[in-house]
Amino acid sequence: MNSGSANETKVFKDWESWLGQHAPGLLLYARQQTQCEADAQDILQESVIEIWERQQSNELPAPALVYATIRRRAIDLARSRQRRAVREATANAEVPAAWFDLSLEDRERSQLIQESLRMLPEIYQEVVTLKIWGGLTFAEISTTLEIPANTAASRYRYGIEALRKTTQKELA
Amino acid sequence: MNDSELEKFEAELRNLKPAALPGPLLQSLVDSRPKLENQPARSPRLNPGAVKTFGLSHWLRWLIPATAVVVGGMIAWVSLRSSAPNTLKPATAPPSERLVADDISVERQLVSTYDAIAELPTGEPVRFNCREWMDEVNVRDSSKGLVIQKRIPRVEITPVRFETY
């Protein structure tokens, strides 16, 4: 094996590792930002390809950049949909995909948190998602959502508290 | 909620793993990584569609400035051509200085008249009455004091039968 193919193999393994680490969180965020599963998967794939194209190097993309691209593409998609009522009716008819791994023992709790998270206002939902499952810092969240870092922190705190209240209320 | 409760709840949330990607989507993302072989670091290849887009954008990057230069050159050339006659021919009368005729007259003056006799191939005599006219056309522009005069000679020949004569 020459050095080129060895390097290629390394990049391949790094890329698979990167996907294993970040792709589930990215898909979770894409699902929250879109109205149906197909849109979420399309936007995730398009965003990753766009980042590769823009990056012009073989370095692995920064997750914050991919999250920001997903958000921008989701906004563009929502704007491009002219018949909003039809889209929402279609989305409501569709069974939503599971946001979390349901193979865990506490399946009911996973579903409860998903529903609680879904009921949160979007501005809190996205900050909590980016922080907890995206692993972004408040500075990165600030860049991704184009809001001040202090706003991101306060939204996170409020979102976590609201989420906890909702889950405790349901479990009580 | 105090800080410890917050941290505990955060830890609980972090234990909740996002759902794994569907197999086809994961495979598609794995395949979307750039290839290293035959490709420098600055231009990653993703798939044939991406390569096509890169090629097109590469050409457009050169085509657009080149088109701008050509169009700019044509505009400059046309403007130079249109401005050159004005500088080279200042004596050319502008439209407001054209001749405006306020009187046009055509006069006919009989210069001479005479008769002529000829014979047809059959021997029959033929008589002609010939008249020489001078037609004169006068065009006047009183505001500028201009008179244009044109004189044209004209011959009028009329056959006359002997019986009529």
Q: What pLDDT is recorded for position B29? A: 86
Tokens 């306020």 correspond to B102
List chain B domain ranges: 1-91, 95-160
CA–CA distance, A103 with A110 (Å, rounded to integer): 10
Contacts of B34 in chain A (CB under 8 A): 52, 58
| Between A73 and B68, residue with greater pLDDT | A73
Q: What is the DSSP letter of B45?
A: B
CATH architecture observed for domain A99-172: Orthogonal Bundle (1.10)
| Greatest extent of chain A over all pairs of C-alpha atoms, in Å | 62
pLDDT tens profile A20-52: 889 999 999 998 888 888 889 999 988 988 888
**Residue A136's pLDDT band (cuts 50, 70, 90):** very high
Confidence of residue A7 (pLDDT cuts 50, 70, 90): low
- Distance to chain A for B68, nearest Cα, Å: 26
Residues of A in contact with B22 (CB under 8 A): 41
Determine the average pLDDT of the residues in A77-86. 68
The domain locations on chain A are: 1-97, 99-172
Residue bearing the bigger pLDDT, A124 or A94: A124
Interchain CB contacts (distance < 8 Å): A and B: 108
Tokens of B5: 């409760």
With 0-12 CB in 10 A as exposed, 13-18 as middle and 19+ as buried, what is B61? exposed
- What is the predicted pLDDT for the residue at B3? 79
- The pLDDT value given to residue B40: 45
Q: Which residues of chain B register pLDDT less than 70?
A: 1, 34-61, 83-97, 161-165
Tell which A residues from 83 to 122 touch B, by Cβ distance under 8 Å.
97-102, 104, 109-110, 113
Distance from CA of B33 to the nearest CA of A (A): 7
pLDDT tens per residue, range A138-161: 999 999 999 999 999 999 999 999
B148 close to B139: Cβ distance less than 8 angstroms = yes
Asked if pLDDT for residue A70 goes beyond 90, the answer is: yes
Query: What local confidence, expressed as pLDDT, does residue A68 receive?
Result: 92
Report the percentage of chain A scoring pLDDT > 70: 80
ipTM metric = 0.74
Length of chain A in terms of residues written: 172
Q: What average pLDDT does the structure give for chain A?
A: 82
- HSE (CB half, 13 Å, CA atoms) of B130? 11
